[in-house]
């Protein structure tokens, strides 16, 4: 798009928001409507409940203290955390 060869791009919302948060793409915009919403997850080796629980505990703390929302807004231009 920056080279003038494209009029539009279809992209994953999370990645698009990241690129739009950078100076190189700050003059572009997203549509208001999301074509196909999707969630992300974190995978762990089956049976590794200790690691899963540790990561979940940290994520819970980050949501509770607001740091997850701050990081999300910094990198994606809005709070994308699932509530």
Q: What gap in Å lies between CA 68 and CA 14, rounded to an integer? A: 15
* Angle, alpha carbons 46-68-71 (nearest 5°): 115
Question: Is this structure's pTM higher than 0.75?
Answer: no
What are the tens digits of pLDDT across the range 14-39?
A: 888 888 888 888 888 888 888 887 88
Which two structure tokens, joined as six digits, stand for 34? 């999301």
Grade residue 13 by pLDDT with cuts at 50, 70 and 90.
confident
DSSP letter, residue 36: S
Identify the pLDDT of residue 36. 82
Helices in 1-83 by DSSP H: which ranges? 13-20, 49-65, 67-76
């Amino acid at each position: 798009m920056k080279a003038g060869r494209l009029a539009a791009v279809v992209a994953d919302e999370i990645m698009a928001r990241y690129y739009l948060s950078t100076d190189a793409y700050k003059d572009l915009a997203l549509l208001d409507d999301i074509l196909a919403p999707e969630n992300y997850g974190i995978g762990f080796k089956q049976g590794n409940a200790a690691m899963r629980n540790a990561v979940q505990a940290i994520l819970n703390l980050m949501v509770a203290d607001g740091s997850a929302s701050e990081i999300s807004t910094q990198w994606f231009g809005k709070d994308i955390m699932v509530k």
